[in-house]
Amino acid sequence: STVAVPSMVPTEQPTRAPTREPTTGPTRAPTFAPSRAPSREPTVKPTFAPSVAATVPELPGTYELFAVLTSSSCAEGLYYGPNPTYAAFVDTSTPHKDQLHTEWVQIVTSDGYNELFRIYWSFETPRTLANHFINAVASGEKVFYRVVRKIDGAEFTYNGVWWFSNGATSFASKFATPTVQYGFSSDDGAWGAGTGTINGNSGLSSLTKFWGVANWNAGDSTMCYNVYAEGVSTYYPNTKTYMYYSVVPIPSAAPTTQPTAPTRAPSGAPSTMPSRVPTSLAPTLAPSSAPSNIPPPFVNTADELFAVVGGNACAEQLWYGPLAITLAGTTTGNYEYYLSTSTSNKNLLHTKWTQIVTSDGVNELFRVYWTFATARTLNDHFYNAVNFGESVSFHVVEAGGQEYVYSGTWWFSNGANIASNAFSSSITARFSNDDGIWGGGIGTLNPNGNPIGYQGSQFWGIGNWDASDTTCSQVYKNGLSYNLGAKTKTYMY
């Protein structure tokens, strides 16, 4: 994905917050003397307050702010409803609230301005904003978290089950309210990342390595001013947290049906809709005997094609270099399978890939949504993979709508010998010295010396598993291998 990852460089404005681990221990009185101007922080039940818009951190237009939490209101003391005007609120009327999504971003600050860390949430299941909360309090939401600390850029990843609070009561009526109301949660609430069960009603912040803010089985006025980092709390009397969700549409779980092979003979009356994306508004009267290389179904416009692999070229016989590519291969026509090192956003830090696996370049079998734990450039994802392994969360969606979620360490191949400057090469050459795989699963995903590793890893994708690129025509589904012939084609974005 070419959606920019927010910068992790500290702001120019120095922080005035106390250190994370004060020498005398946190107190309810801030270390620094109060400013001459009185605090603008509202009481637990504030009257109308100044707009928070001026202090809201900026994120790309693909994210929408839906909640602001303060040192005195983060659960039971939160106002909620359509277009609330309070300093601490949950907005139930955001424009894309009914759009399915999996991504949230949480920015935790010491004072509304100075960022301490941010948390990237990736929910296992796409839901609307209301349904993420409804499901959380009822049965828990599985989330993959990536925490980025502002001061040094350090990153931490976790898998947890977020409940918010199982004492909050159902949110269905709260997201349907026509007026602003007080008391978002009936009892407690946690906003943040960690391992295991994250439930504000349990009061177990230290056991989850929790990052964020919460009312841990107490009251907002005595809990919401604590900011947690790895389960350790620090007192910030003016802390503010901003919650956003992604408004990028989730591709359909069933973008195509499983079609039969196209007929070679044209019908008596040619169709005006030869495919989902027709190559011409005026189809020919006599279509060719072989179907055209129609693009696979929907991908986001923010996604950039960087490789076409399959057939007999996905690793050792895969050519790469600065040539531009389309779904048909290089624009020069030299190579059907190719990895382009000249894509316009190759040096943009990113965490998302989309992989579309087809039987013939047209008919989709499944797609794999990759979420890397660490944002890197395209070259650096490969360089880090072959040398250290890349931690990735994989979301597999079959054409029929079945979904699977895995976490694994993708190596591509530790025998590939991909250099740190490989994407600066001006010469077209073979991409991997030895083996290479494209896809997701569990555990260690490394084909070198492991010819049947796809079985134990429940692998989905294609690859050369310690063999030759003649095996690139094989498609792997849940650890099983299927030979679909030389026309198999996989697109990487």
What is the pLDDT, as a whole number, of residue 167?
92
CB-CB contact of 207 with 64 (8 Å): no
d(CA 314, CA 490): 9
Whole-number average pLDDT of the chain: 83
Highest mean pLDDT of the ranges 24-33, 36-45, 329-338 = 329-338
Q: Is the pLDDT of residue 281 over 70?
A: no
Q: Is 243 helix (H, G, I), strand (E, B) or coil?
A: strand
Helices (H), 99-255: 129-139, 220-223
Residue, of 125 and 265, whose pLDDT is higher: 125
Encode pLDDT of 351-395 as tens digits.
999 999 999 999 999 999 999 999 999 999 999 999 999 999 999
What is the pLDDT, as a whole number, of residue 428?
76
Encode pLDDT of 199-245 as tens digits.
999 877 766 799 999 999 999 999 999 999 999 999 999 999 999 99
Number of helices (H) and strands (E) in the chain: give both, helices first.
4, 30
- Per-residue pLDDT band at 487 (split at 50, 70, 90): confident
What is the pLDDT, as a whole number, of residue 155?
87
Q: Is the pLDDT of residue 19 over 90?
A: no
d(CA 94, CA 242): 14
The whole-number average pLDDT for the span 125-146 is 94
d(CA 322, CA 344): 11
What is the pLDDT, as a whole number, of residue 369?
94
Encode pLDDT of 76-85 as tens digits.
999 999 988 8
Encode pLDDT of 284-331 as tens digits.
444 444 444 444 445 666 789 999 999 999 999 999 999 999 999 998
What is the pLDDT, as a whole number, of residue 258?
52
Contacts of 23 (CB under 8 A, 6+ apart): none
What is the pLDDT, as a whole number, of residue 213?
97
What is the pLDDT, as a whole number, of residue 249?
77
What is the pLDDT, as a whole number, of residue 299?
65
The whole-number average pLDDT for the span 457-481 is 95
What's the Cα-to-Cα distance from 205 to each of 88, 193, 196, 265, 358, rounded to whole Å?
22, 10, 11, 66, 45
Kindly report the backbone phi and psi dihedral angles of residue 312, in degrees, each rounded to the nearest multiple of 5, phi listed first.
Answer: -120, 25
Residue, of 198 and 425, whose pLDDT is higher: 198
Q: Is the pLDDT of residue 338 over 80?
A: yes
Share of the chain above pLDDT 90, in %: 66
Encode pLDDT of 149-184 as tens digits.
999 988 898 999 999 999 998 899 999 999 999 999
What is the pLDDT, as a whole number, of residue 49?
38
d(CA 99, CA 406): 24
